[in-house]
Structure 1
């Protein structure tokens, strides 16, 4: 089609020569020339996927410095242009690591007295009656065949059914099924946060489950040996600083340590080969940059774990794994950043690797079907957990339509599927500090969706936070009472950790970049909604804050030899290292002072100098008294933080003048989300933070026609 002509995209008409767009018969809205250039190029090459580099070359004449910053902003503004009265039409699709694609076929329109008509197709001769009868007969035969096939294929299971297997108080997680299908093992965490393994006899559902472990450590994922004699599982104790994989003899209850697991990991994945000769598990070693998958030969008593995953220069981390039923392949989940993880099939003998999914955010377990072709996996996207049936040959996937779906495992006897149903929602709450007796946190925002990562500006009098109301986490704004809510961004991907500038005019945040790994830093002008990508030389970034003059960003980044806080100029990308002892999150309280936390806990003060050399840092709060990296907030007089206590959760205040801490309030365990920031509203003497609301977590059994 000729781009100088007016064209239609869905319900919208685009006038390239006028730089305007019109929704049906409403008034025309102006578009920036660059927006039209980009849109025209996508239209001209529909339906091809256009790489970012090609757009920069054609629209910005190869000026990658300007184009990189501008293209993301143009795409964002174009998507906003295809909105009317809150109704949006998805016109442009972002293809991760590939580029952009126009989703709607463009149609040239002709103008007659300000109305429009679509260009007509050439007229065809009227078909004869005989030809019509032939076509009708063929159609009826086709419909009959489809109906017959549908009936034939649905004789076994006509519809999906879900059965509740456990409903005890607490959380039942990480189910595994015995080879004969009679028993399941799962972890149950009670109200005192004690986690142990339990065995349930499915043939005697009224009999109480049998407790298998009796300790104060946390047992995690487990897997049965295929002969049914052993159970392998992970045991982690952060207080005693150990994490081991255990082999448990089911009959004698004798335990044997077979390998170690990462102490800091919240998931310790493992699986066993169909011949019971090899144990695969998630672990780490001093010679590898990231944790990964290891294989252990169970036939040799002297065998040592062998790393299966890439060790150095990988740009990803292998996490979960599942042996194929024929034992020749491993299905592996490979994480690239916080919001990007996909499934790969790896030939165990040759290491030949095939990617079979695109665009998964967080894989929550996977299990092979006995046909050696399909697998089921859980996907958590923007806090919502769903399950999929995936053909590993064609890469076709089907939604299972099961809420809260996580960590599936097939029963090999009848191809039923066990999984854990776990629903989680985040809320933003406030805590008043004026009352003599500590009150309970009160919700600021009431919604059926999750709201997380709040920040407050005393200048704009607004709360910025992320919410998954649109299906992904976008930035929203409200006043300090949770009213006058507006959606600020429409990025189409998960945004995290918005932070106000000191002048209350901009926000900095993290988001994945289409064709790169890691989380990148962006700023947005709240008034104009203009987004700019910070020209940082680093591939990945941690939670960002602002310099005292709002001209640079502070973020923890990893270099070849260390991970520390760095200052990154917004205009030039110039970098200065600020901390030298593992800083993870920092806030500038004046132009010469940085308060920051470390990976191992504690709170520190760094006096900033003009040089790149190390200057002494001073501990304000010891690691013994504060184990948090992010749950703290500063004021002119001191620091609010969550203290390390043995029971429950406690808020303390550290006074700058006296350099002493005092307790303010104590709360039950799990009152606060461990990932939430702690934000101070100084004029109201309140604290803001996110809390996690859990629904009962139970083990379910799914029978589905796809599995037969």
Structure 2
């Protein structure tokens, strides 16, 4: 077990006290007897993993160093001794519970006891202990809780972080924190339960309740402080108008000024130069399909942000245009203002950090093999950059040393946003991992509630069922990487199909059930590759190496061809791949992202977010889409991937206020009707709907809502 970095971490669990440093359990003055160290290690594991379930496999890995020969008897014996010791002092409380298929967990929440030095002069006085609770107070938490990250990295994190404190613990999710230049306030986004996000301000000096700054019906998020600390730049997304704008909020008057536009269907990021201008924003500009970073000159106007508006501001695109095969997304200026760090995505599975000299334009690649980077922050000395990326569907935090080029893991949880506290090596960040699992709607039942089908201590998604094989194929990170797995429909007879030790996505059975097409990360180059696995022999082969970014493969009706959207750096286009010849031919000039056969040579497809649902005849001999027509407009059909078709029925989802509404379209009558309501955020937008005719079930990837809070930590040398 890892050493808790917080020192003598003590917890109260009900009426007992657990000291992780001394490895002791006590009740008042009585010390409970756990006759073997392994018994305490199991208890410590349950404490550190609370409120998660801990599987027997995890206990073997964490407590017995992966020695699976210890068997069930050793685990059962340890759990029995822990329960016996706790029952002797508190017989009316069940401290440890067991759930078949999930493992073990504590039934009583462990509460950290934090030492407080009583001597105001800083003398060496004995430490008193108190419980740190409440919403306003910064709440210290043990770093041992964060060491779960090392399970995914495969190596113990360096002790680079300390003084971890929680700044918020409100209902809903808080994220994108940023501290003002005088270090008095933290501005952040707060998405309260079943409400659109707004921007709030919280004092770092007092325990006063946070102050709400925005109140409109739009989603307002991502604040960035102006250099003078008198206002905030932020993003506003208007769902009714399908519009996005970057605005300035004057804190004295709460007046708002529009600065520039942004792209509604893009995850927008902001950063401001330490001099106060320019403001960097990532967006899609006129005539360019790839997103890039634009520098907005805030001084290029006679009208200040505090007045009625900015007109005629000059914007310069910093990023490459459509001639390049990548998109720039997040960004952060160095403290001295000479450089900017950029996250650059080449495809769905590949995103890395680049460093650009603002004077010369010279660039340097800092990372490789990363995916879905969220959060980017410089250290005070401009010699280190902290960032978070995704490994096997889990957020991990790392630091790149610009002097040595070394990249180190940091013992921090999944970070979605991070910013430095000005003038220090303290950072504030939003934390929270999203768990995914496979659920279904029983469309033939009276109650259309989401029912978990495969749910465990690891993430699962993108399920597709083969009636021929009577098998489910899906993606899971059970092995520590996102690989392909198969099982019976009830989750039994699980078997891993691939061992790439990287990322796979979007599996699709052939109609006859003998092969599975999927997308896998390309370890030899930035990008991904289209793959096919033979289910009987387990032989895997690459379909065609010409392209570098594929989406959502689907088989032709006779399994002779594969269809997949391909990016050429200028947008997406659907290709037909001849598996015998190994070549691909373009099918349509329009950006088809997902395609489904409905019989008789007819297909349905979605083009882009908010573009509606389309129908066409597919001529495989040319290949070509013919008689193309839109059958649902964009205001009725908005999903990219969460839809599926079977014969004359189409199932899809739409956002409906605080819910996600599952809908059904009858192609013969054109009638659209509601099927079920799901909680907002329950659907993975990159997941998949998959209809099972024999059960009348609709499978989908469900996301477990999580509490995202704001923390701060100190980065050590």
Q: Which bracket does the TM-score occupy, shorter chain normalised?
A: 0.7 to 0.9
- 1:620 maps to what in 2? 631
Residues 536 and 568, structure 1, Cα contact 8 Å, conserved in 2:
no
Note the 1:268-283 alignment, pairs <5 A: 268-283=268-283
Kindly state the Cα deviation for residue 694 of structure 1 after the two structures are TM-superposed.
Answer: 2.4
Structure 1's 448 and 442: CA in aligned 2 closer, same or farther, altered over 3 A? same
- 1:295 maps to what in 2? 295
CA distance in 2, matches of 1:532, 1:158: 42
CA distance in 2, matches of 1:558, 1:404: 29
Structure 1's 580 and 159: CA in aligned 2 closer, same or farther, altered over 3 A? closer
CA distance in 1, matches of 2:486, 2:587: 31
2:539 to 530, 545, 570: 530
- 2:388 maps to what in 1? 378
Kindly state the Cα deviation for residue 590 of structure 1 after the two structures are TM-superposed.
Answer: 3.0
2:599 to 590, 595, 598: 590
Gaps of 5+ in 1: 1-83, 88-156
Structure 1's 321 and 506: CA in aligned 2 closer, same or farther, altered over 3 A? same
**TM-score, L = length of structure 2:** 0.73
Kindly state the Cα deviation for residue 287 of structure 1 after the two structures are TM-superposed.
Answer: 3.5
Residues 250 and 256, structure 2, Cα contact 8 Å, conserved in 1:
yes
SS of residue paired to 2:694: helix
SS of residue paired to 1:543: strand
2:663 to 649, 652, 675: 652
1:683 to 686, 691, 694: 694
Residues 598 and 648, structure 2, Cα contact 8 Å, conserved in 1:
no
- Are 2:519 and 1:510 aligned? yes
CA distance in 2, matches of 1:181, 1:385: 28
Structure 1's 166 and 646: CA in aligned 2 closer, same or farther, altered over 3 A? closer
Kindly state the Cα deviation for residue 562 of structure 1 after the two structures are TM-superposed.
Answer: 6.2
CA distance in 2, matches of 1:158, 1:364: 20
Residues 289 and 570, structure 2, Cα contact 8 Å, conserved in 1:
no
1:169 to 146, 166, 171: 171
Note the 1:327-476 alignment, pairs <5 A: 327-436=337-446, 438-476=447-485
- 2:240 maps to what in 1? 239
Residues 195 and 216, structure 1, Cα contact 8 Å, conserved in 2:
no
CA distance in 2, matches of 1:561, 1:328: 31
Kindly state the Cα deviation for residue 526 of structure 1 after the two structures are TM-superposed.
Answer: 1.3
Residues 566 and 575, structure 1, Cα contact 8 Å, conserved in 2:
yes
CA distance in 2, matches of 1:670, 1:295: 32
CA distance in 1, matches of 2:350, 2:646: 36
CA distance in 1, matches of 2:560, 2:68: 34
CA distance in 2, matches of 1:405, 1:427: 21
For the aligned residue pairs, the C-alpha RMSD in angstroms reads 2.3
Kindly state the Cα deviation for residue 203 of structure 1 after the two structures are TM-superposed.
Answer: 0.7
> Deviations for 1:349-379, whole angstroms, at most 9, x for unmatched residues?
0011111222211211111111121121122
Residues 290 and 571, structure 2, Cα contact 8 Å, conserved in 1:
no
Residues 221 and 269, structure 1, Cα contact 8 Å, conserved in 2:
yes
Residues 292 and 310, structure 1, Cα contact 8 Å, conserved in 2:
yes
Kindly state the Cα deviation for residue 213 of structure 1 after the two structures are TM-superposed.
Answer: 0.9
Gaps of 5+ in 2: 1-65, 70-158, 302-311
Kindly state the Cα deviation for residue 413 of structure 1 after the two structures are TM-superposed.
Answer: 4.3
Kindly state the Cα deviation for residue 644 of structure 1 after the two structures are TM-superposed.
Answer: 5.6
Kindly state the Cα deviation for residue 580 of structure 1 after the two structures are TM-superposed.
Answer: 5.3
CA distance in 1, matches of 2:486, 2:459: 14
- 2:496 maps to what in 1? 487
CA distance in 1, matches of 2:480, 2:671: 44
Structure 1's 491 and 440: CA in aligned 2 closer, same or farther, altered over 3 A? same
- 1:70 maps to what in 2? none
> Deviations for 1:456-481, whole angstroms, at most 9, x for unmatched residues?
00010111000112222100111001
- 2:566 maps to what in 1? 557
Residues 348 and 549, structure 2, Cα contact 8 Å, conserved in 1:
no
SS of residue paired to 1:544: strand
Structure 1's 227 and 619: CA in aligned 2 closer, same or farther, altered over 3 A? closer
- 1:32 maps to what in 2? none
CA distance in 1, matches of 2:68, 2:579: 33
Kindly state the Cα deviation for residue 585 of structure 1 after the two structures are TM-superposed.
Answer: 0.8
Kindly state the Cα deviation for residue 424 of structure 1 after the two structures are TM-superposed.
Answer: 0.6
> Deviations for 1:564-584, whole angstroms, at most 9, x for unmatched residues?
433221122444444455422
CA distance in 1, matches of 2:710, 2:678: 29
Kindly state the Cα deviation for residue 539 of structure 1 after the two structures are TM-superposed.
Answer: 3.0
- Are 2:651 and 1:640 aligned? yes
Residues 322 and 569, structure 2, Cα contact 8 Å, conserved in 1:
no
Residues 161 and 410, structure 2, Cα contact 8 Å, conserved in 1:
no
Residues 688 and 701, structure 2, Cα contact 8 Å, conserved in 1:
yes
> Deviations for 1:426-468, whole angstroms, at most 9, x for unmatched residues?
01012212222x2422111121111010000001011100011
